[in-house]
Amino acid sequence: MYRKGKWIFVLPAFMILAMILYPFGVGVYYSFTNYRLIFPVIRFIGFRNYIDAILSQDFWYSLKITVFFTAMSLAIELMAGIGIAHLLSRKFKGIGIIRLLVFTPMMIPPVISSMIWKTMMAPDGVLNYLLSFLGAPKIQWLSSSDIALFSVALINVWIYLPFTTLILLSGLESLPQEPFEAAKVDGANSMQIFSYITLPLLKPFIILVILFRTIDSMKTFDIIFSTTKGGPIDSTRVLQLAIYEEGLKWNNMGYALSEIMLLWLMIYLFSQVAFKSFFGKGASS
């Protein structure tokens, strides 16, 4: 009797999401065709697009900088996120307003905050202006092909650190109290408590952050498009930007979709790993 009932819990969510299967299926089909937006005759060409993509240097180059961008952003976000979540989990008067303020960067659409970051990162922009008081030389934040990728990663971190922090904070707040009390009774110091109790208990939330921030960083588009448009040269041409250019700007939709599907597949495989560890924890508890 229960078994039957269980499905009802999941059904609505599935029905809502399943409607996307048709457009997605069409997208998969297009990726096996020579579909060009401005060329109306669509022909099935098998794995041709996929082979072209895998053999092209551009694809691997874009993938490489996308992975680099993602790893860099994720590492900073995760470390800073745990620290900030910890700070915000302290209880004192006024913590409510501090929490709210820390979350505000999320509330401006990335398309727009990135544009404003671009003005701030101009050679005569406010960042270099403020740094000049510290005696720092002018930094070519976005206009040097050696630095631009770091700068866009910094913007990425600024926008999404609140996301990481909020998830980890909600995790911290929901941890059971007993292990902490027991540890205190045993005389553990705060460092020991953090590494032996907090971190392991926080694991599902950390995995959640890794999962979502990896997925979203691999798909980054707005931030790059509003700042460097992939330049200087092609130093910030992340995969999603390359796909956008191929598909919508250069009209090679079939090819672009094959790149999308490859990206999809990679995220899929990565998520499987993260996912296993998520449920691994769930099963043991």
Partner 1 sequence: MMWTKRLILIFLYSIVLLFALFPIYWIILMSFKTPADVISHVPKFFFRPTFQNYRDIFTSTGFSIIKNLENSIIICSGAVVITLLAGLPASFALSRLRIKHGESLAFTILSFRFAPELAVILPLYVLFRKLNLYDTYVGLIWVYQLVTLPMFVWMMMSHYIEIPPEVEESALLDGASWWKIFWKIDTPMVMGGVAASTILSFVFAWNNFMFGLILSGEKTQPATVAALGFMSYEEVHWGKMAAASVLGMLPSIVLSSFFLRYLVKGLTMGAVKD
Partner 2 sequence: MRKGLFIFMIVLLLATMTFATFNWRKFAGQTITVLFVKHPFTEAILPYISEFTQKTGISVSFLVLPETEYWDKLNIDLSSGQGSYDVFMTGPSIEWQHAYAGWIEPLDSYVKSSELTSPDYDFEDFYPAFTAANRWNKKIGGGLGEGHLWAIPVMVETSILAYRKDIFDKYGVKVPETYEEWRKVAAELAEKAKSENIYPVIQRGARDITSIQAGYYTAFSTYGAKDFDENMNCTINSPQGVKITEIWVDTIKKYGPPDWTNVTWFDLMERFASGRYGMVVDCDFFAGTYENPKKSKVAGKVAYALPPKGPDGAIRSNIWTWALSMNARSKHKEAAWYFIQWVTSKEMLLRSALYGNLDPVRKSVWENPKVVEMTEKWGGGTWRKVVTQMLEKYAAWRPTPQTELIAMWTRWIEALHEIYEGKATAKEALDKAAKDIDKIMERAGLK
Site for partner 1 in 117-156 (CB under 8 A): 117, 119-120, 124-126, 129
- The residues with which 39 forms a beta bridge, in sequence order, are 36
Q: Select from 59-67, 98-106, 178-186, 220-228 the region that touches partner 2 (CB under 8 A).
A: 220-228
* Residue 262 engages partner 1 in binding (rule: CB under 8 A): no
Cα separation, 107 vs 103, in Å, equals: 8
Q: How far is the CB of 106 from partner 1 (least distance, A)?
A: 5
Angle, nearest 10°, between helix axes 253-284 and 199-218? 170
219 belongs to the binding site for partner 2 (CB under 8 A) = no
Residue 277 contacts which entry, partner 1, partner 2, none (Cβ below 5-8 A, type-dependent): none
Q: Which of 126, 149, 138 is nearest to 223 (CA)?
A: 149
CA distance 78 to 84: 10
* Contact string 134-163 vs partner 2 (x = CB under 8 A): ----x-x-xxxx------------------
Angle at CA 179, nearest 5°, toward 276 and 173? 70
230 binding partner 2? (CB under 8 A): yes
Instruction: Indicate which of partner 2, partner 1, none lies near residue 154 (CB less than 5 to 8 Å, by partner kind).
Output: none
Q: Which is nearer to partner 1, 144 or 280 (CB)?
A: 280
Q: For residue 186, which amino acid is it?
A: D
φ, ψ for residue 250, nearest 5 deg: -100, 0
Of 97-105, 169-177, 209-217, 248-256, the segment contacting partner 2 by CB under 8 A is 248-256
Contact 163, 80 (CB under 8 A): no
Fill in the amino acid letter for 264: W
Residues that bind partner 2 (CB under 8 A): 36-40, 118, 122-124, 138, 140, 142-145, 225, 227-234, 245, 248-251, 253
